[in-house]
Amino acid sequence: MKHLNLTLDNIEDLFPESFTQEQKAKAKTLFYKELALRAHRFYNGKMQTIPKAPVMGFNWFNAWYTPGVSKISTTIRENNDTSYELSNRGNLVAVVSDSTRVLGDGDCTPPGGMGVMEGKAFLMKYLGGVDGIALCVDSKGPDGKNDPEKIIEFVKMCQHSFGAINLEDISQPNCYRVLDVLREECDIPVWHDDAQGTACVTLAGLINALKLVDKKIGDVKIVYYGAGASNATIARIVNTAGADPAKSIMFDSTGALHTGRKDIEDDKRFYRKWELCQITNPDKVETMEEAMKGADVLIALSKPGPDVVKKEWIQVMGDKPIVFVCANPVPEIYPYAAKEAGAYIVATGRGDFPNQVNNSVGFPGILKGALLVRARKITDNMAIAAAEAIARFSEKRGIHIENIIANMNESEVFPHEAADVAMQAIKDGVARKEMNWQEAYDQAKEDIDQARATTKALVDGGFIASPPQALLDEALKVAIDAVK
């Protein structure tokens, strides 16, 4: 009997030969969900806190705690910036969420977001050498509605313990106000990874995809399907990077965005969407069928598929169309189906399909770069610098239509990205600390290598157990049986 190997590289080899491509895709999704449930239960989550300093003898506790630590408190009191040197603050990120829009599952209640927020912290550490802690908060007010002011107040109160804040899975329109207020009123970077992170990596993928089809970003017609925090920010960042907003059309769940959308204009909470209404779709195209005619690029971040984006839409696109379908956990259309409809390059948010355009290749390096120079904020220029760093690194090692950008397994991308972000922070005047590119690169690489080596040492030493083979095999069996 064949078993899944621990790397999970042979999943498809164990599917029944009779499975179609669609059945295999469904089975993989179900497998990863079932595996996640069993593995999280086995390990009781996936993060822990361990010391970074030694205990050479009992008296060291007098230095790590009282009475010696009093000197740390008074030193920081005199100069708060020394907290970056005398505590772990300078490498510590809070992953803050009210869990009101967790992946494609909607409002999962505050503790329901813990799996995703711990996952974000896991990737920060392993990929970026950054310590993260999950903080899932209740944002409901007395009326039972989610109140963005509660998240704003919470982050303002706890910012002094962290070097940066990573906002995650906050539903719109609250996410807009939370990010915009905190970016201006906090003295540390506040980053909304669903929005800015996704925008950064999408731009990186778009830059290289356009190179492969020999088109300029300022010339292409772009259709955005979905107008949530992710796609609205993608449009803003892509426009800042050189796209012509007049050549783009965006759709939300009601229809096309344009200046005739009084429902958006009248609801001041959706001011980011109204900004896009004013600069996109000047001809007030109303339908996807019309919008997709001759389009060069489709960027979809709407709702899980697989039949949300129609083959007929792709069939009327222009020459060598680029299709990004990045809903999680299932893309709006499966890549094989998009290819059958004529897509030249297809990207999704998943690592088990070609061309993963996922913020996992962005935020570890971006946050690391911001932390290295003790930035006060992450500017749009820093996000674009990260996108260009990812695209440039990927092009240097080679790109093609099935591999447009680096993935999270390519560890070298992260220190390159971190160094470019750090330099942009200095250029933008938001850095507290000066360093050159090589210093930033070397520090980032050292921290990332150490994080990976630490994890390996814990596994090799038996302090982190390998998952039982039965756990893997049972998860695969459940997925296969569900699809048969």
pLDDT digits over 296-351, tens only?
999 999 998 899 999 999 999 999 999 999 998 889 999 999 999 999 999 999 88
Could you read off the pLDDT of 264-276 as tens digits, one per residue? 999 988 999 999 9
What number is the average pLDDT over the span 79-88?
97
Domains and CATH numbers, the chain: 8-44+436-484 (no CATH), 92-188 (3.40.50.10380), 196-347 (3.40.50.720)
Catalytic residue list contains 344: no
Could you read off the pLDDT of 33-72 as tens digits, one per residue? 999 999 999 999 999 999 999 999 999 999 999 999 999 9
Tell me which of 24, 120, 125, 445 is the catalytic residue: 120
Rounded to an integer, what distance in angstroms lies between the CA atom of residue 53 and that of residue 231?
A: 43
Catalytic residue list contains 65: yes
Is the pLDDT confidence value at 1 over 80?
A: no
pLDDT at 328: 84
pLDDT at 352: 84
Q: Is the pTM of this model over 0.75?
A: yes
Rounded to an integer, what distance in angstroms lies between the CA atom of residue 109 and that of residue 102?
A: 9
pLDDT at 481: 95
pLDDT at 22: 87
Segment holding 420, helix H or strand E: helix 413-427
pLDDT at 2: 81
In degrees rounded to 5, what are phi and psi of residue 300? -110, 120
- Cβ(321)–Cβ(291) under 8 Å? no
Alpha helix ranges (H) inside 301-373: 311-315, 335-340, 363-372
Is the pLDDT confidence value at 295 over 90?
A: yes
Six token digits for residue 262: 């009084």
- Cβ(130)–Cβ(124) under 8 Å? yes
- Cβ(251)–Cβ(280) under 8 Å? no
Tell me which of 65, 216, 284, 427 is the catalytic residue: 65
Residues of 356-389 as b/e, b for ≥16 C-beta within 10 angstroms? bbbbbbbbbbbbbbbbbbbbbbbbbebbbbbbbb
pLDDT at 83: 97
pLDDT at 268: 87
What number is the average pLDDT over the span 173-201?
94
